[in-house]
Copies of this chain bind each other. A is one copy, B any other.
């Protein structure tokens, strides 16, 4: 910070007191039109910009929102990060807010300390948090300290203890199931996540819902659980392909695209053709999905709207003290149908 025009200089030029200039800027002023014009002219001429620290010291608010997220492993891009961030700070800027990004720490205690630090020093007015595991300590901590925040995701299906926006993963998978059933599939397997994943369970629930809606009875051997990686997808699919023919699945619903990628590899290696012989669906609609061979049917989340929505709600709260209704919102994802399912030839043999 080299130069810096202050209120006083503007005031001197306009021939008024500096407090009056302040009033004009925040239009809380009863000022004659002529003086007001003089002041605005002086502001323009000197190219005055209100000092952020001064302002925020006086107002006791930083007009800044904090956000951190868990870094994705090097072999896996975060498919939503860019859009999510962009939409958050775009929405924030409209209200004069900005987004402060800070490091993620795997150690919970350390992470909480960072949250506390950022808030207690007054660097941020509130947070957006997107990490929602079962034992996640951040939510109760912020809640307990009455630190404002909104969540991308929830901790329990029927959670109402804090404001959030979440994707209805179950509804997404249910859509995929409906699609598969319509194509004629009856033996549908699921590649699921470990049962300690809330998001995973939520999505899997859509699988069960899809089965019962189609009147298909559930076979436990058709649900395989594991980490959401392509390796797990690969192994699990090999297992499924080795099942006796009468229960061997003709379609595999995966809880994310990575598993679907692994599944596709396994199917191909078994000499079968993805899509035509066995349908595969993913979840996330990673940009990669459409470039796979064949292009992968997947479920895409309305990230942009969520980012904007969350930000606006948080700011609304910061300014007024009340969260706009509904406090908790569930948005539906959309099924993107591609060749990995659409090219199915039932009873191919």
Residue A195 CB within 8 A of the other chain: no
Q: Are A103 and B86 in contact (CB under 8 A)?
A: yes
Distance in angstroms between the alpha carbons of A102 and B93 in the assembled complex: 7
Q: Are B99 and A101 in contact (CB under 8 A)?
A: yes
Q: Are A82 and B83 in contact (CB under 8 A)?
A: no
Oligomeric state, in number of copies? 2
Minimum CB distance partner of A67 in chain B: B101
Contact A61 to B1, CB < 8 A, known contacts A75-B287, A83-B71, A261-B291: yes
Distance in angstroms between the alpha carbons of A335 and B287 in the assembled complex: 23
Q: How many residues of A contact B (CB 8 A)?
A: 58
Task: Determine how close the nearest CB of chain B comes to the CB of A296; give it in whole angstroms.
Answer: 11
User: In the complex, what residues of B have CB within 8 A of residue A86's CB?
Assistant: 71, 103-104
Interface segment, one of A29-37, A115-123, A214-222: A115-123
User: Which of B52, B71, B81, B122 touches A62 (beta carbons < 8 Å)?
Assistant: B52
Contact A230 to B90, CB < 8 A, known contacts A2-B146, A52-B121, A125-B1: no
Distance in angstroms between the alpha carbons of A79 and B99 in the assembled complex: 21
Distance in angstroms between the alpha carbons of A100 and B123 in the assembled complex: 11
User: In the complex, what residues of B have CB within 8 A of residue A125's CB?
Assistant: 1
Minimum CB distance partner of A81 in chain B: B82
Task: Determine how close the nearest CB of chain B comes to the CB of A58; give it in whole angstroms.
Answer: 8
Q: Are B49 and A53 in contact (CB under 8 A)?
A: no
Residue A54 CB within 8 A of the other chain: yes
Tell me the A9-47 residues at the B interface (CB within 8 Å): 47
Q: Are B100 and A53 in contact (CB under 8 A)?
A: no
Q: Are A122 and B1 in contact (CB under 8 A)?
A: yes
Chain A residues in the interface with B (C-beta under 8 A): 1-2, 4, 47, 49-54, 56-57, 60-62, 64, 71-72, 74-79, 81-83, 85-86, 89-90, 93, 98-104, 117, 119-123, 125, 146, 230, 261, 265, 268, 286-288, 290-293
17 contacts between A and B (CB under 8 A): A1-B61, A1-B62, A49-B117, A50-B121, A51-B121, A53-B57, A53-B122, A57-B57, A77-B77, A77-B287, A77-B288, A78-B82, A81-B81, A89-B102, A93-B102, A261-B291, A293-B293
